[in-house]
Structure 1
Amino acid sequence: MKNDFFIFDNAIHMYKLTEDNFDESYGGGRQRTNALVEYAKKFSAPGYPYDDISDRELSVEDAYRIMFDESDTDIAMAQTVPSHGGWKLGFSPAENNYKLKEAYPDRVLFCGGVDPITHGRYGAKKEAVRQIKEWGAVSFKFYQAHSGGVSWRIDDPDMAYPIWETCLENGVNNVQFHKGLAFNTQHIIDLAPYDLERAAQDFPEMNFIVHHLGEPFIDETINIASRYENIHLALTAWINQYPVAPRPALHAIGKCLLHVGADRLLWGSEAFVWPKVQAYIDLFAEMTMPEDLQEGYGYPELTDEIKAKIFGLNYAKMMGIDVEAKVQELYGKGSADSAKKAVRRGRR
Structure 2
Amino acid sequence: MIKDVFVVDASAHSYNLREDNYAAGRYSRAVVDAFYGAHYGLSPVGYRLPRGQFARDWTLAETAKVLFVESDYDFACHHVTPINAFKDGGCSIEKAREARERWPERFQVYAGVDPVFPEHALDSLEQQVEELKPVGIKLYPNSYTADGVVGWHMDDPEIAFPIFQRAHDLGLKAVAIHKAIPLGPVPMDHYRMDDIDAAAAAFPDLQFEVVHGGFAFIEETAFQLARFPNVWVNLETTSNLAVAKPGAFERVIAGLITHAGEGALDRLMWASGATVLHAEPPLRWFWERFQFSPEMREREGLPEITEEIKRKLLGLNYLRMHGLDVKALAKSIEGDEFAVERAKGKPEPYATTYSKGFAE
Normalising by structure 2, report the TM-score.
Answer: 0.86
Q: Write the distance in 2 (CA, Å) between the matches of 1:33 and 1:103.
A: 28
User: Does residue 321 in structure 1 map to residue 324 in structure 2?
Assistant: yes
Aligned to 1:253: 253
Q: Residues 3 and 54 from structure 1, CA distance in 2 versus in 1: closer, same or farther, beyond 3 angstroms?
A: closer
Deviations 1:69-97 (A, max 9, x none): 2222111000122121x312222223223
Deviations 1:205-226 (A, max 9, x none): 0100001125432211221222
Deviations 1:106-155 (A, max 9, x none): 101111100121xx212211111111111111111100123544111111
Aligned to 2:11: 11
| Matched residue SS, 1:77 | strand
Cα shift at 1:167 = 0.9
Aligned to 2:155: 155
* Structure 1 outlier segments of 4+, above 3 Å: 47-55, 146-149, 257-260
Cα shift at 1:54 = 4.5
Aligned to 2:66: 66
Q: Quick one: percent identity of the two aligned structures?
A: 31
Aligned to 1:346: none
User: Does residue 135 in structure 1 map to residue 135 in structure 2?
Assistant: no
Question: Aligned to 2:313, which of 262, 285, 310?
Answer: 310
| Matched residue SS, 2:78 | strand
Q: Is the 8 A contact 1:80 1:94 kept in 2?
A: yes
User: Does residue 125 in structure 1 map to residue 131 in structure 2?
Assistant: no
Q: Is the 8 A contact 1:142 1:178 kept in 2?
A: yes
Q: Where do 5+ consecutive residues of structure 2 fail to align? A: 336-360
Q: Residues 24 and 325 from structure 1, CA distance in 2 versus in 1: closer, same or farther, beyond 3 angstroms?
A: closer
Aligned to 1:77: 77
Aligned to 2:34: 35
Q: Write the distance in 2 (CA, Å) between the matches of 1:93 and 1:225.
A: 31
Q: Is the 8 A contact 1:32 1:183 kept in 2?
A: yes
Q: Write the distance in 2 (CA, Å) between the matches of 1:298 and 1:47.
A: 37
Counting only pairs closer than 5 Å after superposition, residues 1-348 of structure 1 correspond to structure 2 as 1-25=1-25, 27-49=26-48, 52=51, 54-84=54-84, 86-117=85-116, 120-147=117-144, 148-213=148-213, 215-260=215-260, 261-275=264-278, 277-286=279-288, 287-331=290-334
| Counterpart code for 1:121 | P
Q: Is the 8 A contact 1:212 1:235 kept in 2?
A: yes
Q: Residues 71 and 51 from structure 1, CA distance in 2 versus in 1: closer, same or farther, beyond 3 angstroms?
A: farther
Root-mean-square deviation over aligned CA pairs? 1.9
Q: Write the distance in 2 (CA, Å) between the matches of 1:252 and 1:50.
A: 27
Q: Residues 83 and 51 from structure 1, CA distance in 2 versus in 1: closer, same or farther, beyond 3 angstroms?
A: farther
Q: Write the distance in 2 (CA, Å) between the matches of 1:273 and 1:209.
A: 19
Aligned length, in residue pairs: 328
Cα shift at 1:191 = 0.8
| Counterpart code for 1:283 | W
Normalising by structure 1, report the TM-score.
Answer: 0.89
Cα shift at 1:47 = 4.8
Q: Write the distance in 1 (CA, Å) between the matches of 2:215 and 2:331.
A: 38
Q: Is the 8 A contact 1:250 1:289 kept in 2?
A: yes
Q: Residues 259 and 101 from structure 1, CA distance in 2 versus in 1: closer, same or farther, beyond 3 angstroms?
A: farther
Q: Where do 5+ consecutive residues of structure 1 fail to align? A: 333-348
Q: Is the 8 A contact 2:7 2:74 kept in 1?
A: yes
